[in-house]
Amino acid sequence: MTNRLDAVLYGYFRSTAAYRVRIALGLKGFDPVSRFVHLRKGEQSEPAYRTINPAGLVPYWIEGDLHLAQSLAIIEYLDEMHPQPPLLPKTPAGRAIAREISLVVCCDIHPIGNLRVLNRLTEMGVDETLRARWSQYWIEAGFEAIERRLEQLGAGPFSFGEEPTLADICIVPQIFNARRFGVDLSPYPRILAIETSASKMEAFARSEPGRQPDAE
Ligand SMILES: N[C@@H](CCC(=O)N[C@@H](CS)C(=O)NCC(=O)O)C(=O)O
């Protein structure tokens, strides 16, 4: 069941950062108005969108006077405003570890393989095969760290047991991205198990890129 939220989410079906926010909204039972920014066509760089978000990135969140960029900031804002179900574990250590996993995805993996970075590599003469290897390399480095952490946590079916948290919200879209770049996921059974668990939940399933209205 979804509830209308008086807010607008700017996104793009294949944006993993927007995908994170869609999952969080789904878990909270919200369905805001969606606007689509076609990143491949460069709409993020056009003045019409730059006046909305000067950073020229998605996701972007507008709710009344609040204009907010950065998926993690948006998700934590939603979690504070609508605490049920909680998206962070109960203990301070658990919350810190959930943020650690999220930051591996959002700081150590995602920015290095972002569209604007890949475009810059193209401008510098790097061909498609090498660009894919570049992305694979950084995804594998990050997934290696996350897999080891998930082994320590030993929980399941999600990172912190029965309920998904911010960690899973960040991991699942990154798996989608890893597949796009042809990463061999067999060394990461714990990460793959989270994807399997997530696929059974409506909030995750409805957020998949292929199910978005702007999907191609
Ligand atoms: N750290 C930001 C990253 C936002 C971001 O880089 N979004 C990508 C799509 S996943 C984007 O808009 N890229 C446009 C571009 O690279 O030109 C967040 O988590 O929201």
Query: How many Å lie between the centroid of ligand 1 and the Cα of residue 56?
Result: 8
**H or E stretch at 32:** strand 30-36
Architecture of domain 9-84: 3-Layer(aba) Sandwich (3.40)
Nearest CA to ligand 1 atom 13: 57
**What's the residue count for the chain?**
216
Nearest CA to ligand 1 atom 14: 57
Query: How many Å lie between the centroid of ligand 1 and the Cα of residue 151?
Result: 29
Kindly list the domain boundaries of the chain, sorted by start residue. Answer: 9-84, 92-202
pLDDT at 1: 53
Digit-coded pLDDT (tens) for 37-59: 999 999 999 999 999 999 999 99
Average pLDDT over residues 164-181: 98
Candidate CATH numbers 3.40.50.720, 1.20.140.10, 3.40.50.2000, 1.20.1050.10; the one for domain 92-202? 1.20.1050.10
Nearest CA to ligand 1 atom 5: 57
pLDDT at 128: 95
Query: How many Å lie between the centroid of ligand 1 and the Cα of residue 147?
Result: 24
Residue with tokens 């989270």: 194
Exposure b/e, 79-113, CB count within 10 A at least 16 = b? beebeeeebbbeeeebbebbbebbbbbbeebbebb
